[in-house]
Amino acid sequence: MRFMFVGDSMTIGRAGDYTWRYRMWQHLNRSFGGPYAIVGPRTELYDTTADAPVSSDYARPDFPPNARRHLAGWGEGWLHMAPLIGPAATAARADVLLVSLGLIDLGFYANSTQTDANARRFIAAARDANPHVRAVLLPVVPNIRALADAPFAAECDRFNELLAKTVADLDTAASPLLLASAPYAYDIHTDTYDGTHPGPTGEHKLAAAFAEAMHQAWGLGGPYERAAD
């Protein structure tokens, strides 16, 4: 089975991060119980000094290059990924998409209705690439801006409602969709390093949200167990 991580800055990570992708790789190694691959067209982390995704400086050098693959970008959302997912999924022959998108869209590019439309475009393009693709979609995790910006917080809540409806509307037996639960007990004050981007505890909680969804709904892998850093 071939897994592809799709996301924004919370997924690509910055130089020096472990990333929740690393935590998921650890989880799959422990629990998947069969052959699998992590696929995607990119491997880099975002370098804040260069202001570009050019770093290979992961926190753990034991994270192998073939497991670092992803389709994630700093400042990229559903708007940006909708036209990219088809070619990427085709080239990588992706079976399962683990998707964390939306915060960037709502913060800078689109309202909740427009963002939901882009999510639907993304799903359609992924299915054009693979009619049997599965996807786990994470609700938007509001960041620190939502504490002071009530309209933005409302748009985050509204998009999550729309995303839940989209998953219910578009889920099929041939191409299943899952809406993951919000990361359990996620606290932007302690689980992020800046109110948005996950630190080590946040990385585990994001990985756990995806892992538990796949295990409970599809029997893929096992319950998430936090590994040592």
Domain count, the chain: 1
Whether 226 is covered by a domain: the verdict is no
In a domain, 84, yes or no: yes
pLDDT in the model for residue 164? 98
Q: What is the pLDDT of residues 58-75, one digit of tens each?
A: 999 999 999 999 999 999
229 in a structural domain: no
* pLDDT in the model for residue 41: 98
Q: Evaluate whether residue 31 is within a structural domain.
A: yes
pLDDT at 216: 97
On whether the pTM is more than 0.85, the answer is yes
What CATH number has the domain bearing residue 74?
3.40.50.1110
Q: Does 74 reside within a domain?
A: yes
Taking the chain, what is the end-to-end CA distance rounded to the nearest angstrom? 26
Query: What pLDDT score does 108 carry?
Result: 97
The pLDDT score that the predictor gives to residue 73 is: 98
pLDDT < 70 positions in the chain: none
- Assess if residue 14 is contained within a domain: yes
Residue length of the chain: 229
86 falls within a domain: yes
CA distance 82 to 156: 19
Residue 223 lies in a domain: no
pLDDT at position 227: 80
What range does the domain containing 42 cover? 2-218
Q: Cβ contacts of residue 150 below 8 Å, gap of 6+?
A: none
The number of helices, as runs of H, and strands, as runs of E, in the chain is: 8, 8
